[in-house]
Amino acid sequence: MQRIYLDYAATTPTDPNVVQAMLPYFHDAFGNPSAIYSYGQEAKNALEEARGKVARLIGARDEEIIFTSGGTEADNFALKGAAYANQKKGNHIITSAIEHHAVLESCKFLGKMGYKITYLPVDKYGLVDPDSVKKAITDKTILISVMHANNEIGTIQPISEIGKIAKEAGILFHSDAVQTAGHIPVNVNELGVDLLSMSGHKLYGPKGVGVLYTRKGSKLTPFMHGGGQERGRRASTENVPGIVGLGQAAELAGQDLEGETQRLIGLRDKLISGIVQKVDRTHLNGHPVKRLPNNVNISVEFVEGESMCLNMDIVGICASTGSACSSGSLEASHVLLAIGLEHVQAHGSLRFTLGKWTTEEEVEKVLEILPRIIGKLRAMSPLTKNLSPG
Ligand SMILES: *Cc1c(COP(=O)(O)O)cnc(C)c1O
């Protein structure tokens, strides 16, 4: 069976070019970058070359790039590092209700440690109002953290507007750009961010490696203690193959950003309009335009998200849902609830995220199969009993 993978927001396959670039650093050039002999220096050079490639993708300076074990660590580092470093200045953090768990759980932890957290609401499209950020600022505010684009509904936030507000107030500004770096233009100066998170495996690089961009002069307390790697900001022997892979992925991503964006928008909009036209009582979640080029998130009334996902899996289609029954909890997505969906609508959501290897034929296949699956599930659903025909 030919698999149709439409869950690129969860993880991407590592680009074969990236794998090729990584291979020498497992065995031939395996040295420890901290060693002074040439094996070590070879690895060190590769590390620094990768740092330059990542820096160029986001308009940063090389020394502002800190490699981490992933997007989650980058988010934890930004939140906790800024909180600890600015303890004397204040204890208030502003974030949004729709952040990734890596940010929300870090905030929850800091809340337990005595920090005050403001979770800004979003509108029905998932947008944070920059004015609400401004209004939430107090003389104790030390950090603002708002994601660049949301991983579930794809909404792209007005980051540069929020950046201006943060700068005026002299407050550190962090953005989780895991879903945008390498996918849409990300420039740390245009966005006005001081801290920015990236992850390798969301841009066709390997898993287990990420980046925290840290603007020169931003105060962060390291939370990995040990050797002096990454200029003393993040101890542990560097994941050289992973970092080389991330560098290669960053370089590749920068090469055809605009062309790939236009291609994906075409496929995305074909999938959205196809589903909405073919299946009644469905609607798009997230913003119609301020949206990631690869994100489709649809609520389907009277059907459970995981039933749709499992039925699609049987025919080889990989998609995800904002309903978490399958993972053992009955919680609906915090993002879908934050944009005002009822629990039952949130449980009936489907997310397709497209990528580099998504083809028009694949989209057409989904448009052929999904309406049938929904029809079958609705016919069995007790929820549709009261639904008048047509
Ligand atoms: C995937 C993701 C993360 C976590 O990145 P990992 O590298 O998997 O730890 C953080 N934020 C967002 C928005 C993500 O999509």
DSSP codes joined into one string, 336-370: HHHTT--HHHHHTEEEEE--TT--HHHHHHHHHHH
CATH number of the domain residue 314 falls in: 3.90.1150.10
Domain tally, the chain? 2
Domain match, 177 and 267 both:
no
Is 95 a member of any domain?
A: yes
Asked whether 183 lines ligand 1 (CB < 6 A), one says no
- Per DSSP, the chain holds a count of helices (H) and strands (E) of 14, 12
Residue 158 neighbours by CB distance under 10 Å: 15
Is 65 a member of any domain?
A: yes
Asked whether 174 lines ligand 1 (CB < 6 A), one says no
Of the candidates 186, 149, 193, which has an alpha carbon nearest to the alpha carbon of residue 171?
193
Is 389 a member of any domain?
A: no
Around 91, how many Cα atoms within 13 Å sit in the side-chain half-sphere?
A: 8
Q: Which two tokens stand for residue 257?
A: 């950003």
The pLDDT score that the predictor gives to residue 386 is: 56
Ligand 1 atom nearest 102 alpha carbon: 10
Q: Of 255, 290, 305, which marks where a domain is finished?
A: 255
Buried b or exposed e, range 192-224, using 16+ CB within 10 angstroms? bbbbbbbbbbbbbbbbbbbbbbbbeebebebee
Q: Are strands 172-176 and 141-145 parallel, antiparallel or unpaired?
A: parallel
Domain match, 227 and 311 both:
no
Is 178 a member of any domain?
A: yes
The pLDDT score that the predictor gives to residue 326 is: 47
User: Is there a contact between 261 and 253 (Cβ–Cβ < 8 Å)?
Assistant: no
Is 390 a member of any domain?
A: no
DSSP state of 24: G
Domain match, 266 and 238 both:
no
Q: Of 255, 273, 307, which marks where a domain is finished?
A: 255
Residue 33 neighbours by CB distance under 10 Å: 19
* Three-class secondary structure of residue 300 per DSSP: strand
| 107 part of the active site | no
Domain match, 171 and 205 both:
yes
Domain match, 191 and 283 both:
no
Is 192 a member of any domain?
A: yes
The pLDDT score that the predictor gives to residue 388 is: 45
Q: Going along the chain, which residue ranges are E strands?
A: 4-5, 65-68, 92-96, 116-120, 141-145, 172-176, 195-199, 210-214, 282-284, 295-300, 317-318, 349-353
Residue 390 identity: G
Q: Which residues contact 225 (CB under 8 A, 6 or more apart)?
A: 235
Domain match, 124 and 103 both:
yes
Q: Which residues contact 373 (CB under 8 A, 6 or more apart)?
A: 308, 311, 312
Asked whether 22 lines ligand 1 (CB < 6 A), one says no
Asked whether 69 lines ligand 1 (CB < 6 A), one says no
Ligand 1 atom nearest 209 alpha carbon: 7
Domain match, 237 and 343 both:
no
Domain match, 303 and 342 both:
yes
Choose which residue among 73, 100, 150 to substitute to test ligand 1 binding: the one with the highest number of ligand atoms within 8 A of its C-beta.
100
Domain match, 251 and 269 both:
no
Is 126 a member of any domain?
A: yes
User: Is there a contact between 142 and 86 (Cβ–Cβ < 8 Å)?
Assistant: yes
The pLDDT score that the predictor gives to residue 304 is: 93
Choose which residue among 146, 151, 353 to substitute to test ligand 1 binding: the one with the highest number of ligand atoms within 8 A of its C-beta.
151
Domain match, 186 and 287 both:
no
Domain coverage including residue 202: 16-255
Q: Are strands 195-199 and 210-214 parallel, antiparallel or unpaired?
A: antiparallel
User: Is there a contact between 43 and 33 (Cβ–Cβ < 8 Å)?
Assistant: yes
User: Is there a contact between 82 and 195 (Cβ–Cβ < 8 Å)?
Assistant: yes
Q: Of 222, 239, 255, which marks where a domain is finished?
A: 255
Residue 354 identity: L
User: Rounded to whole angstroms, how far apart are CA atoms 234 and 230?
Assistant: 5
DSSP state of 277: H
- From the candidates 107, 309, 318, 325, give the one annotated as an active-site residue: 325
Domain match, 117 and 69 both:
yes
Asked whether 100 lines ligand 1 (CB < 6 A), one says yes
pLDDT tens digits in sequence order for the chain, 390 residues long: 889 999 999 999 999 999 999 999 999 999 999 999 999 999 999 999 999 999 999 999 999 999 999 999 999 999 999 999 999 999 999 999 999 999 999 999 999 999 999 999 999 999 999 999 999 999 999 999 999 999 999 999 999 999 999 999 999 999 999 999 999 999 999 999 999 999 999 999 999 999 999 999 999 999 899 999 999 999 999 999 999 999 999 999 999 899 999 999 999 999 999 999 999 999 999 999 999 999 999 999 999 999 999 999 999 999 999 876 545 556 789 999 999 999 888 999 999 999 999 999 999 999 999 999 999 999 987 767 655 444
Q: Going along 156-303, which residue ranges are E strands?
A: 172-176, 195-199, 210-214, 282-284, 295-300
Q: Tell if the pTM clears 0.75, that is, is over it.
A: yes
Any idea which residue has 């699609």 for tokens?
A: 312
Around 272, how many Cα atoms within 13 Å sit in the side-chain half-sphere?
A: 24
Domain match, 276 and 234 both:
no
CATH number of the domain residue 153 falls in: 3.40.640.10
Ligand 1 atom nearest 201 alpha carbon: 7
Is 162 a member of any domain?
A: yes
